[in-house]
Amino acid sequence: MSTKSDTAKVRQHNLGLVYQVIDHHQPLSRTELSRLSGLSTASITKISRELLDARVIRECGELHSLRGRHPILLELDSRHFRYLAMRLGRGYVAMASFDLKGRCLRKERYTLLSREKESLTRELFSHLETFTQKYRDRLLAMAVSLPGRVDDEQGWVHHFPFYDIHDWPLKQLLEQTFSIPCFVSSSIHPWIMAERAWGAAQKSQNALLILIQEDIGAGVILDGQLVNSRQSRIGSLNHLPTADGQLPCYCGHQGCARTEVTTSALERSYLELTGDRLSAREICELALAEEGKARELLITLGHELGALLATLVIFFNPQTLLFSGELLAAASILFPLFRQEISARVPREYFEHLSIEATCFYEDPTRPTAILVQEALFDGFLLSRVTQPC
Ligand SMILES: [Zn+2]
């Protein structure tokens, strides 16, 4: 016997399925929607009515046919709902609003001056209030991604490295304030999903994304699917041992990737070598301008990182290896070193078809975050909240 919750689950699933088919094939008729979704025409009539009433989809004309009635075409209604995607980084938050067709309507980047949890929360929320002022009542959901260790399920930030913030209940705080569903995730998983959907990994069934910031993470797509786990800390490479690293890590070991091949490791090495405190991006720019010490450090880092990547290439055998983070500025120095190290350490069949590429979304970090909302539309979760059963 089916229960009320089973019925609700089926309804949610069907709403998401119909939405996905419209998203991929719009504009289309109800008959095509039925054929492509596998749902009966009666179900399509009912679900499309619910989505029309909620202003999620709209009728947008007729399909011209030679005989009989002209079927009415449906498409996503981009006029009503908005959603927000944010990226929190070192001293900034980037925000972008999107319509249901995934078009970015407005972008802003705000500098964040606060460094501790309470004041950072106040500053962030103040920018959010300003950014969403004009369409607050039409805001469907918001998503935020940030580097560090995040419990995606609970939206709980265990550790945000640049600010050294621990135990930040960000999802809960956002939902209490804005009364809409909010999604909080570490950067890496939405990023590789977005690269697979819209970016540099569209043609790859197996792709690996390495994101280097204050810490180092990896996102993996195998057979077109994100590799993830609720139980394990998949994605962090912080404590992967490097070949020659000697520096102590807070975990009690030495030579961990986070102490040797991250942006902060590069900045620390440059400070020790020159006495100058520069950002990783500035060091990359100096290296490109042939400044000796910056170039020397980048080359050392490129070899160490390349050796580490060789291990991952053997393990995951990706077709595409994507690289992102501030060090991307020195891709012309780093990528040849990665190829050199990988080819020296890995059997030929593992790398002969391997393509090493920059990610598409480094300069547009809100786009990967937006995929979290799109997922919640595709699985029907957000749609079941804004529709009423007929
Ligand atoms: Zn460690």
Q: What is the tens place of the pLDDT at every residue in 271-284?
A: 999 999 999 999 99
What is the strand order of the sheet 57-62 is part of?
A: 28-29, 72-76, 57-62
What is the strand order of the sheet 156-160 is part of?
A: 149-151, 156-160, 165-168
Q: What is the tens place of the pLDDT at every residue in 5-63?
A: 888 999 999 999 999 999 999 999 999 999 999 999 999 999 999 999 999 999 998 87
4-76 and 200-358 in the same fold: no
Q: Which residue in this structure is represented by tokens 């705000």?
A: 110
* Residues of the chain falling short of pLDDT 70: 1-2, 4, 66, 229-233
82-187 is classed in which CATH architecture? 2-Layer Sandwich (3.30)
| 317 φ/ψ sector (left φ>0, alpha ψ -120 to 50, else beta) | left
**SS3 track for 339-379:** HHHHHHHCCHHHHCCCEEEECCCCCCCHHHHHHHHHHHHHC
Largest CA distance in the chain: 81
pLDDT reported for residue 164: 77
pLDDT reported for residue 294: 95
Distance of CA 293 from the midpoint of ligand 1 (Å): 26
Distance of CA 183 from the midpoint of ligand 1 (Å): 28
Which residues lie at CB < 5 A from ion ligand 1? 239, 249, 251, 256
Distance of CA 257 from the midpoint of ligand 1 (Å): 7
Question: Which CATH code for domain 4-76?
Answer: 1.10.10.10
Distance of CA 382 from the midpoint of ligand 1 (Å): 39
Topology annotation, domain 200-358: Nucleotidyltransferase; domain 5 (3.30.420)
How far is it, in rounded angstroms, from Cα 379 to Cα 76?
16
Q: Are 312 and 323 in contact (CB under 8 A)?
A: no
- SS3 for 257? helix
pLDDT reported for residue 331: 95
pLDDT reported for residue 335: 96
Q: Where do the DSSP E strands lie in 63-181?
A: 72-76, 82-89, 92-98, 104-111, 139-146, 149-151, 156-160, 165-168
Rounded to the nearest 5 degrees, what angle is found at the Cα of 55, between the Cα atoms of 52 and 60?
A: 65
Distance of CA 242 from the midpoint of ligand 1 (Å): 10
Would you list the domain boundaries of the chain? 4-76, 82-187, 200-358
Q: What is the tens place of the pLDDT at every residue in 132-148?
A: 998 888 999 999 999 87
What is the pTM assigned to this prediction?
0.84
Distance of CA 246 from the midpoint of ligand 1 (Å): 11
Distance of CA 251 from the midpoint of ligand 1 (Å): 4
pLDDT reported for residue 144: 96
Tokens of 78: 């981009």
pLDDT reported for residue 231: 60
Distance of CA 84 from the midpoint of ligand 1 (Å): 35
